[in-house]
């Protein structure tokens, strides 16, 4: 051994230290958590919301680095296109804001427009944003087996400045309302999870039950957690959620009578998904299942408890919560979180780790009494519809209807000055040619002056075959308002036959409008004693503006006859030929001179023929041309007319044009 023991010791210590450093950094910063939130919905359905969060540090040299848990493809995407934030969602079905609520964090984050929605904020100079966007769409379409690459064309995306999110020009937003979502989109999405769907909560994702659902939306949200002042935490947060609204099988459907209120169908994980949780994903730091009872339900439960006077003390042990007057849970929760406000929602927490003793975790909910409640609504219920008939013109109308929430606001506010801010973002494809000057606002069915209500407005009108039209509005409406209708007229465009999709008569989609209420924040403030922060909980507690999407509109456009191109071309050209020919004929006709001209022509032709014949015979005989005296005079004249300077000029002209054309085309 060359090295003395004295020297090896500090070296090995150093090595150990580095090893520890490396291990500790990677172990600390690359984290994965899986969570599932279940929530009974008022209309006898169940919401299941899977939430997977993957965090990875972002080192400067991370191109070469290997991640332990974090999907490499995503980190490369982020690195390559300098993405600051991005969200991609695949949705089928429409979130029912009236029944399923529009005010809680789940609905304002996870209720998405049908089809594909993609937005991204880039960290590049403004003139490079479009190029980054185009590249990103192509990468994503490869990654998720979808036609996101259709968002590449400038007619498909827009750059809202403040109605959606404030990102100062580096935000791009695009939707594909008609994109069908299927398992082939789910599989690549699951591949990004460390355990895929082999273990943990994601093993619940039974494809038939997911795609049978009333609404499902799979979402991928990327954020770069910005470097704090100390510069230590700069990383990527990848948030993958799957929101499903399912109808549990109703076993005792036939038992309830018609007259009384039906009891809600009882359900369990195995009954709605057909599977049970058989353990957690070992790579996950956190693996929790939550059951959320929202405000309306809790309030109803409390009143019913008061009525029956079963509820003795306000002892908040787990067992009491397991069994209350309304429903019974099959598994006792480990923890119960209550919202800070009075009459607030309750969250039951089930860490999968703690239920090792049970073979398979199968949470079930058994209703005992029929309960009717309603989910919290956004201040206004927004919907959108088309006005008019025929294929020439129409109007888009966005209607806002007040909900019980604004009525409460009015009740709380005695003075009249209460105003609500409503942001509207409407993107319209170019073939719907919107006349922005026809924007009208009807408040409580009376036409109003726009400037009284519109605080800010930004319009970027659509340009044919180049960009979609976009309108961003900030409305200030009085709280006491019952309803408001914004309407705007449009002309339907006429497209080239190549621009129609294969099923042209189905119509074209106008993407959802986004209505947001920045004065309201959907956040549930839970009284949380424990130190361990669950990503889903922090997401629920995050204060975010209430957001809702309107319906996708289907606009039928007039179609030309697709089988006609050849006919149209030939008929039109015939008309042009008719015009040109007959007009030229009229111009050159000379009455009285025509006969003379014809005679001349005949004579010339005869002479020419004769000369050709004599020439030929002379050549055949091998003798020099002998001119017969009878022909000589006329032949000389005809030959001179044959090689006239006009003809030479003509030939030169044609040659010149040909040369010029050759030169030009080279």
Binding site for another protein (CB under 8 A): 389-393, 430, 433, 435-437, 457, 459-465, 469, 491, 493-498, 558-561, 564-565, 568-591, 593, 646, 649-650
Structure tokens at 619: 């050549």
**Could you give the CA distance from residue 105 to residue 255 in angstroms, rounded to a whole number?**
36
Nearest to 206 by CA among 183, 180, 189: 183
Of residues 359 and 594, the one with the C-beta less far from another protein: 594
User: 3-class SS at 373?
Assistant: coil
Of residues 9 and 580, the one with the C-beta less far from another protein: 580
Of residues 228 and 591, the one with the C-beta less far from another protein: 591
Min dist. Cβ of residue 551 to another protein (A): 23
Of residues 404 and 455, the one with the C-beta less far from another protein: 455
How are beta strands 469-478 and 364-367 bridged, if at all?
unpaired
User: 3-class SS at 181?
Assistant: coil
Q: Do 70 and 26 meet the contact criterion of CB atoms below 8 Å apart? A: no
Structure tokens at 243: 């929101």
Q: Do 39 and 46 meet the contact criterion of CB atoms below 8 Å apart? A: yes
In terms of Cβ atoms closer than 10 Å to its own Cβ (0-12, 13-18, 19+), residue 176 is: buried
How far from the centroid of its chain's Cα atoms is residue 522's Cα?
A: 22
Of residues 8 and 600, the one with the C-beta less far from another protein: 600
The H-or-E segment that residue 446 falls in is strand 446-448
**Could you give the CA distance from residue 346 to residue 599 in angstroms, rounded to a whole number?**
110
Min dist. Cβ of residue 564 to another protein (A): 6
Of residues 16 and 466, the one with the C-beta less far from another protein: 466
Min dist. Cβ of residue 465 to another protein (A): 8
Q: Do 550 and 382 meet the contact criterion of CB atoms below 8 Å apart? A: yes
User: 3-class SS at 97?
Assistant: helix
How are beta strands 215-225 and 83-92 bridged, if at all?
antiparallel
Of residues 404 and 491, the one with the C-beta less far from another protein: 491
Min dist. Cβ of residue 602 to another protein (A): 14
Nearest to 294 by CA among 188, 358, 373: 373
- Strands of the 446-448 sheet, one edge to the other: 380-387, 393-402, 483-492, 432-443, 446-448
Min dist. Cβ of residue 556 to another protein (A): 9
Nearest to 510 by CA among 175, 192, 207: 175
Of residues 126 and 568, the one with the C-beta less far from another protein: 568
Of residues 575 and 625, the one with the C-beta less far from another protein: 575
Of residues 334 and 393, the one with the C-beta less far from another protein: 393
Nearest to 69 by CA among 238, 226, 288, 278: 238
Min dist. Cβ of residue 419 to another protein (A): 24
**Could you give the CA distance from residue 41 to residue 317 in angstroms, rounded to a whole number?**
25
Min dist. Cβ of residue 636 to another protein (A): 20
Q: Is 350 left (phi over 0), alpha (psi -120 to 50) or beta?
A: beta
Of residues 388 and 545, the one with the C-beta less far from another protein: 388
Nearest to 476 by CA among 555, 543, 417, 428: 417
Min dist. Cβ of residue 167 to another protein (A): 21
Min dist. Cβ of residue 432 to another protein (A): 12
Min dist. Cβ of residue 251 to another protein (A): 49
Of residues 285 and 465, the one with the C-beta less far from another protein: 465
Nearest to 51 by CA among 237, 247, 183: 237
Min dist. Cβ of residue 660 to another protein (A): 16
Min dist. Cβ of residue 247 to another protein (A): 38
User: 3-class SS at 466?
Assistant: coil
């Amino acid at each position: 051994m060359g090295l003395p023991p004295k020297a090896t010791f500090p070296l090995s210590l150093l090595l150990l230290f580095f090893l520890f450093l490396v291990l500790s950094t990677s172990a600390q910063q690359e984290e994965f958590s899986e969570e599932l939130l279940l929530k009974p919905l008022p209309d006898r359905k169940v919401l299941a919301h899977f939430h997977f969060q993957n965090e990875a540090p972002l080192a400067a040299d991370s191109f070469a680095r290997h991640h332990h848990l974090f999907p490499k493809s995503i980190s490369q995407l982020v690195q390559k296109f300098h993405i600051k934030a991005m969200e991609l969602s695949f949705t089928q079905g429409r979130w029912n804001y009236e029944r399923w609520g529009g005010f809680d964090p789940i609905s304002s984050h996870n209720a998405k427009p049908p089809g594909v929605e993609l937005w991204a904020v880039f960290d590049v100079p403004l003139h490079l944003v479009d190029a980054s966007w185009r590249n990103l769409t192509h990468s994503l379409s490869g990654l998720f087996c979808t036609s996101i690459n259709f968002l590449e064309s400038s007619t498909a995306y827009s750059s809202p400045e403040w109605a959606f999110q404030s990102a100062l020009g580096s935000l791009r937003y695009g939707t594909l309302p008609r994109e069908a979502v299927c398992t082939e989109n789910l599989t690549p999405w699951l591949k990004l999870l460390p355990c895929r769907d082999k273990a943990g909560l994601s093993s619940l994702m039974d494809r038939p039950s997911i795609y049978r659902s009333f609404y499902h939306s799979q979402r991928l949200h990327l954020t770069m957690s910005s470097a704090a002042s100390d510069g230590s935490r700069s990383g990527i947060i990848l948030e993958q959620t799957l929101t499903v609204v399912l109808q549990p099988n109703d076993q005792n459907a036939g038992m309830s009578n018609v007259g009384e209120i039906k009891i809600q169908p009882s359900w369990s994980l195995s009954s709605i998904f057909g599977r049970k949780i058989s353990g957690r994903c070992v790579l996950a730091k956190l693996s929790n299942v939550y059951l959320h009872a929202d405000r309306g339900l809790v309030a109803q439960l409390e009143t019913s408890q008061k009525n029956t006077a079963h509820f003795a003390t306000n002892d908040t042990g787990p067992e009491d919560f397991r069994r209350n007057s309304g429903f019974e849970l099959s598994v006792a929760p480990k923890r119960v979180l209550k919202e800070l406000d009075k009459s607030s929602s309750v969250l039951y927490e089930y860490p999968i780790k703690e239920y090792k003793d049970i073979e398979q975790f199968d949470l079930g909910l058994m209703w005992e009494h029929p309960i009717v409640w309603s989910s919290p609504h956004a201040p206004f219920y927004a919907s959108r519809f088309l006005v008019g008939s025929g294929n020439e013109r129409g109007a888009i109308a966005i209607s806002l209807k007040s909900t019980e929430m604004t009525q409460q606001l009015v009740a709380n506010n005695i003075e009249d000055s209460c105003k609500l801010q409503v942001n509207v973002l409407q993107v319209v494809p170019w073939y719907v040619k919107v006349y922005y000057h026809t924007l009208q606002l009807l408040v409580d069915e009376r036409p109003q002056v726009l400037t009284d209500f519109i605080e800010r407005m930004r319009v970027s009108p659509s340009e044919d075959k180049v960009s979609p039209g976009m309108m961003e509005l900030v409305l200030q409406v009085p709280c006491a308002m019952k309803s408001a209708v914004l309407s705007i007229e449009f002309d339907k465009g006429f497209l080239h036959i190549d621009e129609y999709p294969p099923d042209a008569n189905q119509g074209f989609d106008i993407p959802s409008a986004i209505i947001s209420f920045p004065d309201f924040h959907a956040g549930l403030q839970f009284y949380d004693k424990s130190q361990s922060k669950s990503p889903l909980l922090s997401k629920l507690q995050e204060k975010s503006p209430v957001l809702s999407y309107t319906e996708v509109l289907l606009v039928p456009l007039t179609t030309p006859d697709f089988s006609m191109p050849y006919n149209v071309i030939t008929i039109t050209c015939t008309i042009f030929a008719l015009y040109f020919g007959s007009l030229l004929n009229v111009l050159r006709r000379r009455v009285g001179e025509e006969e003379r001209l014809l005679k001349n022509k005949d004579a010339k032709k005869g002479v020419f023929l004769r000369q050709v014949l004599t020439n030929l015979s002379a050549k055949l005989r091998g003798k020099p041309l002998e001119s017969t005296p009878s022909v000589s005079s006329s032949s000389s004249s005809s030959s001179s007319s044959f090689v006239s300077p006009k003809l030479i000029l003509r030939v030169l002209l044609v040659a010149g044009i040909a040369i010029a054309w050759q030169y030009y085309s080279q």
